[in-house]
Amino acid sequence: MIIDGKQISQSLKDAMKIEVDALAEQYGRRPCLMVIIVGNNPASRSYVRGKIKATEYCGFDGHLVELPEDVSEATLLAEIDKLNNDPLVDGILVQLPLPKHISEDKVIAAISAEKDVDGFHPENVARLWLNQHCILPCTPKGIIELLDQAGVEIAGKKAVVIGRSNIVGKPVAKLLLDRNATVTIAHSRTQDLAAVCREADILVAAVGRAKMVTAEYVKPGAAVIDVGINRTEDGKLVGDVDYEAVLPVAGAITPVPGGVGPMTITMLMRNTIECFLNRMNNK
Ligand code: NAD
């Protein structure tokens, strides 16, 4: 089974569009997401375009704040502060990566935790690991949603996550653990990675290396979630999984493009609605 992230994403966005109209009626305003981009990195520009398009599609308020590549850290922090203090702003996102002269850690920590739609703020990360109410990071949240929508059982299964980054590997592992999977986190120092992965009923690859996961990594019938985004020499977008080789072995698989990517943006929309509701109901 191919898990069609694009289609699942579309139906979730259609439902959110209706929900947002109802929220506007009920609360007298729409959820508002502000996206900040610094500089002209083409990949960042393309991600941000997708986010703004989804924002408009779902009927949110908000817009893009564009700052030049050489903007000072102080100016960026002042911009964030302004949005933190704006009662009509529900979500703030600063597109990463940032130019070298700006500290990403400082910027992430400067965004008010209640408006942190990316779920990267240390307070949200801590709350996730403490099982407290928090804003979940979008890609991990989207992966769980994809598994649920595809009807993949998580509880009691063995899951292997390749990659231990703070934004994908570790939080995905935590969310799978919370759903009662038995989770192994593999990484660049893991010995005999293929054998470790072959144990998995659910295999999540979040590495950033094209075609790294071959058929010999996959237990027949396993669900394979490909988070990787890589460009081939001829500019083609591919994941971490050798899709053609793994497709006949896997029980379910996400394609790249059209799998985890669209879900990440859709979960950003979901988080914006959740931030809006938290703020409106805590007033
Ligand atoms: P990262 O570079 O921070 O982490 C990569 C991880 O892979 C590291 O923990 C490292 O230990 C592990 N790794 C590296 N080489 C390995 C090897 N040979 N064997 C086993 N493990 C190895 O990357 P990230 O931010 O977690 O992103 C991972 C991939 O997911 C990238 O391709 C990124 O572009 C993509 N990504 C996609 C989305 C999406 O929405 N689809 C979102 C975030 C990241």
The CATH number that applies at residue 224 is 3.40.50.720
Domain of 37, in residue numbers = 26-115
- 125 is a domain residue: no
Same domain, 93 and 148: no
From CA 46, how far away is CA 132, in angstroms rounded?
A: 34
Same domain, 147 and 256: yes
- 98 is a domain residue: yes
276: CA distance to ligand 1 center in Å?
Answer: 31
Same domain, 183 and 92: no
Instruction: Give the largest Cα separation in the chain, rounded.
Output: 57
pLDDT mean for each 10 residues of the chain (283 residues): 97 98 98 98 94 97 96 98 98 98 98 98 98 98 98 98 98 98 98 98 98 98 98 93 98 98 97 97 80
Residues that are catalytic: 51, 95, 118
Residue range 39-55, pLDDT digits in tens: 999 999 999 999 999 99
208: CA distance to ligand 1 center in Å?
Answer: 5
Question: Whose Cα sits closest to atom 31 in ligand 1?
Answer: 208
End-to-end, the C-alpha distance of the chain in Å comes to 45
**Total number of domains in the chain:** 2
Same domain, 166 and 57: no
Atom of ligand 1 nearest to the CA of 209: 32
Same domain, 169 and 66: no
206: CA distance to ligand 1 center in Å?
Answer: 4
Same domain, 43 and 156: no
Question: Whose Cα sits closest to atom 17 in ligand 1?
Answer: 188
* Ligand 1 proximal residues by C-beta, below 6 Å: 139, 162-165, 167-169, 186-188, 190, 193, 206-209, 227-230, 260-261, 264
270: CA distance to ligand 1 center in Å?
Answer: 24
- Indicate the burial class of 43 (C-beta count within 10 angstroms; 0-12, 13-18, 19 or more): exposed
Note the pLDDT of residue 283.
60
113: CA distance to ligand 1 center in Å?
Answer: 25
Atom of ligand 1 nearest to the CA of 229: 32
Atom of ligand 1 nearest to the CA of 264: 40
Same domain, 41 and 106: yes
Note the pLDDT of residue 282.
86
Question: Whose Cα sits closest to atom 32 in ligand 1?
Answer: 208
Same domain, 147 and 105: no
**In whole angstroms, how far apart are CA 87 and each of 16, 36, 108, 279?**
22, 18, 20, 9
- 218 is a domain residue: yes
- 198 is a domain residue: yes
The CATH number that applies at residue 71 is 3.40.50.10860
- 242 is a domain residue: yes
**In whole angstroms, how far apart are CA 44 and each of 66, 69, 78, 97, 186?**
12, 12, 22, 8, 28
From CA 252, how far away is CA 3, in angstroms rounded?
A: 6
